Chains A and B, each alone.
Chain A
């Protein structure tokens, strides 16, 4: 990983940011989320050979950092308040929906690939849903009602399930590729448990340290650098200890989001401004990782179709069955599934973690599958980014929780973690 600094680094970063910006601009015109624009910009740069593998290796710290920030953001979104409602009902739906997705995608991928340890990874990644773009729809339109509440709960928590499943799937895959005898099943399970426990513990401890400082400081913005520093520190610590950075940052975000004293603003909005160039670069890198040589292959196309189809089907019916079993209101039952289609940061980030893990295994087959997973997830994310938000706003509207009148006055308190989404109103109204 010893990639040395060359003058081209800043040049390439600059090109990436500028191109990504214009890619996103074009996408916005079509009412498609910007992530797709970033990824296409990356795809162009990667295909032209401007973003080569060396450079991607050099940027790995940015990828790690972006993962940490993504985890942190999800953690912030999980509010204690979401557990207040009918937790058991929502929990049933959540578990049915995510497990069904996991199973169906695993079965489909396993059938196509014939490699079940890889299929498990696909299944795990498929259970992640992107909260950001869906929450944004809710925010823009100030949706309110039973569907919205259930949705918020599921969106916040199924990423946790996805992260845990992915951790397990990676452990199994590593077990599969390691020489027989070196890693026992008990050892693998043990290290998985330790991994999850230690990552959460470190995240929680640093979270409380952070809470102490937030409570002490009058102006939240003053501790911006500290906040960023803590996240970078966690990510660095985790890669040093070889634990899960995204999980740790999520726990960190959860603690910060929920234990800061009431009168303080728990979320640093400026951090999100700082995040945006990093996240932009992250998606550009993901786009650049797409290898057209890998994708232009019938079996990969089939796998992609199976993944998207299986995931869509499972999310839809899983949540529907779950809702029916728990006797949820009819409108929620009908339309909840539609709102769970988006896929973005978490799935993509986890697929990058998988790729890095597989590459470090060194096994030729593992390397091949690592690249395959990253490519398929990137491709499916691009597809789902187009349909996901449209489906979500459609679902909310059909459930009648999508007020046409934008000038409502109520505040939504449960979702303070996303802010100021005045603008994208236009994006959505274009598409819906």
Chain B
């Protein structure tokens, strides 16, 4: 604990340096953060103990990531029938990724005689269906894209994370049952994840409805930011408390904090009609989140380095990761295309949506972190499973973070939604929302909500 801040500070500085070097090569920051984590992990500055102490960052980061995804989910431009079509596409591409990755990794794992190949493969499949809205959204904002693919993209990206959370929770229950069949019955395996998901929805909805009250009272949305963050943290805290209580009762119900946060975020943004305000708030939230999320990625990198440098199964991890990547890419691409055909979407969507679904980051990593945490406590085969999953997902995330955004750009350009001069746009020009620029006395309506966010809370 003594060197806690020293380590964190060092990690942040190093992560920034890593990211700024990579940015020159047009590689997203996330990769740099993870790379910094790898360096810190290998030099054992980031010890296993420190990572354990930082664990509440994982919960915090996941909650905030989930909340942001919930915000992305509600899009006023999408109307009822369109959403139905998109949901079908999501179901098809997510299921395709799940099935194909499970299938491929199952063969590899049983070839290598890894214990319990089937549940492990299912877990891989479940995590594979998640996509990262943040990295993709950056590309879209940066280039000012517009068109059918762009408008449906964010929804698809956010919605298949829901699928991933549900699948992973079920897969964890299934794997636990496989590890020790005596503790659970099959019906419990089927029912408990459902209860967990339902409970997350209920808790998230309660938080959302409670937050709506001050939202209506306060005209200035920006002023609620601290309360908003407080509510997210509170929600995650309550869920963690309930989860640990349930565990002492001997059930395996796991209420998903990330899912509850998504529901919370969805309700909040659904109730806000003003789109520009909404966009500003979610951007500001993202800013506040960024150090937390950054530490999260550094942790993942560090953990990955520890796992890979100590495990004798490095070859297995690399092979599994490559199969995982191949299976996921194919399934996402063709799944989206097939889904587009079935629901008769615009031809651009049929052709190019799949290419935009390759990014993988926070959700997949967070889920594999949860898997690792759950399984490492059990020891033995389970520990191996947990390490394998985190190692593979972390490795594949690093690769997808490089490839994914490029694929998004390419696909959008091919779909004709990337303005020709778009590349010239600097990211900061599009980010209209700057809480700094409007000086102290601008009272124009446009920046009222942003300019007041940090007034007297910073009296220090």
Contacts and interface: CB of A to CB of B under 8 A. Distances in A.
B partners with A: yes
A17 B227 contact: yes
A18 B207 CA distance: 12
Pick the most buried of A17, A142, A231: most chain B CB atoms within 10 A of its CB: A17
Contacts of A280: 226, 457
B357 interface: no
B161 to A, nearest CB: 21
A345 interface: yes
B39 to A, nearest CB: 15
A369 to B, nearest CB: 24
Interface string A273-299: 111110110000000000000000000
A40 to B, nearest CB: 15
A363 interface: no
A1 interface: yes
Nearest to A415: B440
Contacts of A235: 5, 9
Nearest to B17: A226
Contact of B56 (A9, A24, A64, A346): A9
Interface stretch (B191-199, B228-236, B268-276): B228-236
Chain A interface residue number, banded: 35 or more
Interface in B42-90: 52-53, 55-56, 59-60
A7 B460 CA distance: 30
Interface in B413-457: 426-428, 434-436, 438-443, 448, 450-457
A240 B6 contact: yes
B344 interface: no
A219 B55 contact: no
A422 B442 contact: yes
A50 to B, nearest CB: 12
A335 B226 CA distance: 36
A236 B10 contact: yes
A237 B454 CA distance: 28
B460 A274 contact: no
A345 B460 contact: yes
B440 A419 contact: yes
Contacts of B56: 5, 9-10
A202 to B, nearest CB: 13
A334 interface: no
A10 B458 contact: no
Interface stretch (B123-131, B238-246, B299-307, B315-323): B238-246
Contacts of A229: 8-13, 15-16, 291
B12 A35 contact: no
A140 to B, nearest CB: 8
B284 interface: yes
A26 interface: no
A132 interface: yes
Interface string A219-259: 11111111011111111110110000000000000000000
Interface in B257-298: 284, 287-288, 290-291, 294
A74 to B, nearest CB: 8
B443 A422 contact: yes
A372 interface: no
B243 to A, nearest CB: 7
Contacts of B287: 221, 224, 270, 273-274
Interface string B2-31: 111111111111011100100000000000
B291 A274 contact: yes
A218 B241 CA distance: 44
A230 B13 contact: yes
Contacts of B439: 411, 419-420
B406 to A, nearest CB: 20
Contacts, number: 254
Given A5-B56, A265-B436, A272 B458 contact: yes
Nearest to B231: A18
B8 A236 contact: yes
B441 A422 contact: yes
Interface in A116-150: 130, 132-133, 136, 139-140, 142
Nearest to A64: B5
B220 interface: yes
A420 B234 contact: no
B225 interface: yes
Interface stretch (A65-73, A91-99, A165-173): A65-73
A277 B288 CA distance: 10
B225 A18 contact: no
A61 B435 contact: no
B290 A73 contact: no
Contacts of B452: 420-423
Pick the most buried of B56, B288, B434, B455: most chain A CB atoms within 10 A of its CB: B455
Contact of B236 (A14, A133, A140): A14
Nearest to A427: B456
Contacts of B11: 229
Given A5-B53, A9-B56, A33-B459, A270 B234 contact: no
A130 to B, nearest CB: 7
A12 interface: yes
A2 B1 contact: yes
Contacts of A9: 56, 237
Contacts of B12: 225-226, 228-230, 232-233
A8 interface: yes
A235 B59 CA distance: 24
B429 to A, nearest CB: 10
A231 B458 contact: no
Which are the 10 A-B pairs with shortest beta-carbon distances? A229-B12, A14-B234, A17-B230, A11-B237, A236-B6, A233-B9, A232-B9, A236-B5, A345-B460, A269-B436
Interface of A: 1-5, 7-18, 20-21, 24, 33-35, 60-61, 64-66, 69-70, 73-74, 130, 132-133, 136, 139-140, 142, 213, 217-226, 228-237, 239-240, 265, 267-270, 272-277, 279-280, 344-346, 406, 408, 411, 418-424, 427
8 contacts: A7-B244, A11-B241, A61-B5, A229-B9, A273-B435, A279-B458, A345-B460, A419-B440
